[in-house]
Amino acid sequence: MKKILYLILMCGFSFQFLIAQNQGKVSYHGQLSINGSKIVNQYSDTVSFAGPSLFWSNTWWGGDKYYTAEVVDWVAQDWDATIIRAAMGVDESGGYLTSTTNKTANYERITTVIDAAIDNDMYVIVDWHSHHAEDYETEAIAFFTAIAQEYGDNPNIMYEIYNEPLEVPWSTVIKPYAESVIAAIREYDTDNIIVVGTPIWSQKVDDAAANPITDYDNIAYTAHFYAGTHTQWLRDRILAAMNDGIAIIITEWGTVDSDGNGGVATESSNAWVDFMKEHDITNCNWALNDKNEGASALVPGASTAGYWSDSDLTTSGKYVYQVIKNWEGALIPDESGGSQDPENPEDPQEPEEPVVSLDNLNHDENVNVFVNNAQQLIIQLPDNFQNASFVIYSQQGQKLVHEHNVRVQTSQVPLQNYVPGLYIVIIRLHNTIHQYKIIKK
Ligand code: MG
């Protein structure tokens, strides 16, 4: 009897825990855009995202080994990261422009991370990680054209076209470079957010605010900070730029000194995290890497397949894990208790009648699939399941959700915001395929 009670308690616990781990993000927030100084989702709600930045992708620099699908899976599923940044090394040794071999290798690292981010329903920043991007404008145009052609229809992607300019002028160097690269991206992708670096290691956001790019929509500007070095004066500058009407994304921040060393500056980091939360600033922490320096989130030798325990994280890594895990800027209404206006008939939260029906196309009692009253698709896998994945396709064949390597017994997918139509759910379990048809009226 005791044993049964114990089992029931354990099941109840894992059910709660597992559901919280399995929230989709891009499938809810969809196409992002810039509205004044904020990022808004497809429902025009202000949102912000938090996640890690990978280290320079350059071959043999050490950070390259973490450009794996498994690492992206892990930070999505264990850290609850809703964004990740792929920092493609460009012009330094082992970088994209240094040899044909390095070009292919770096490009593959970036697309591995993009593909895994899409699979994990996350946003992903594709970063041209250079301090001299204006010297490689032609190459940047070719690179971003290729990325936009391949991924521009996808809401997951953000383009970061210049990581950290040095002491070069905004108006005569960075802005003209940015406008050329943006024009090339917009040939293939008319809407996804493009982030532009600012002078002095992306600290002079005031220069961009004084002379912003106005020929294109959905442009944001980069600010970087390291809490051990940068304090209130940089927050004041960022806030002034936002008040002037430009959007800021902190594509890189560290808990330590600006050279990547030093200990975690806890008080200063707390002030910065509060600031980013208060002003809805999307951010990525530098860096998801095991280099022996303060800024690294991982201890030397940490696995390149994720599954890190607490002891695999550095002091900074433990701090950052908590920041990302507890970030609330991208909660979907079910999680937050509802952020939509109930008076608004357009509101995606508004109940619709009749709603969703589900047909089982090839029944198997091992898998329990149903739609609950809250319009959530519930997928319950059998005990001791292995090698499970599921995909939801729209009628047009677009992959709306893809969970591969499912590690939770019960998954929950919100369907409230799906437009009326037919959807196909395919669940793969061991070597069997289970198909379901959803009709939303
Ligand atoms: Mg697009």
User: Tens digit of pLDDT for each residue in 75-91?
Assistant: 999 999 999 999 999 99
User: Tens digit of pLDDT for each residue in 21-55?
Assistant: 334 489 999 999 999 999 999 999 999 999 999 99
What is the whole-number distance in angstroms between the Cα of residue 153 and the centre of ligand 1? 4
**Could you give the CA distance from residue 322 to residue 374 in angstroms, rounded to a whole number?**
30
User: Tens digit of pLDDT for each residue in 372-410?
Assistant: 877 888 888 888 887 788 888 776 667 788 887 888 888
What is the whole-number distance in angstroms between the Cα of residue 192 and the centre of ligand 1? 5
Confidence check: pLDDT of 346 > 90:
no
DSSP per residue over 219-250, as a string? EEEEEEEETTT--HHHHHHHHHHHHTT--EEE
What is the whole-number distance in angstroms between the Cα of residue 369 and the centre of ligand 1? 33
**Could you give the CA distance from residue 270 to residue 388 in angstroms, rounded to a whole number?**
39
3-state DSSP assignment of residue 173: helix
What is the whole-number distance in angstroms between the Cα of residue 193 and the centre of ligand 1? 8
Query: pTM for this one?
Result: 0.74
Sheet with 432-440, strands from edge to edge, namely 356-360, 432-440, 421-429, 388-394, 399-403
What is the whole-number distance in angstroms between the Cα of residue 183 and the centre of ligand 1? 14
What is the whole-number distance in angstroms between the Cα of residue 39 and the centre of ligand 1? 15
What is the whole-number distance in angstroms between the Cα of residue 417 and the centre of ligand 1? 20
Look up the CATH number of domain 5-13+353-440. 2.60.40.3080
**Could you give the CA distance from residue 32 to residue 155 in angstroms, rounded to a whole number?**
7
164 is catalytic: yes
Look up the CATH number of domain 29-325. 3.20.20.80
Output the six-digit token pair for 388: 């499970």
Q: How many helices (H) and strands (E) does the chain have?
A: 12, 19
The residue behind tokens 């993009």 is 114
**Could you give the CA distance from residue 252 to residue 175 in angstroms, rounded to a whole number?**
20
- Per DSSP, 194 falls in state E
Cβ atoms 159, 193 nearer than 8 A: yes
Cβ atoms 177, 170 nearer than 8 A: no
Cβ atoms 393, 426 nearer than 8 A: yes
| pLDDT value at residue 397 | 61
Confidence check: pLDDT of 419 > 80:
yes
Question: Choosing from 108, 150, 252, 335, which is the catalytic residue?
Answer: 252
252 is catalytic: yes
- What does the domain layout of the chain look like in residue ranges? 5-13+353-440, 29-325
List residues, by chain if needed, whose CB lies under 5 Å from ion ligand 1. 152, 189, 191-192
The whole-number average pLDDT for the span 125-149 is 98
**Side chain identity at 139, as an amino acid letter?**
E
**Side chain identity at 214, as an amino acid letter?**
T
Question: Choosing from 164, 343, 346, 350, which is the catalytic residue?
Answer: 164
User: Tens digit of pLDDT for each residue in 143-187?
Assistant: 999 999 999 999 999 999 999 999 999 999 999 999 999 999 999
Confidence check: pLDDT of 340 > 50:
no
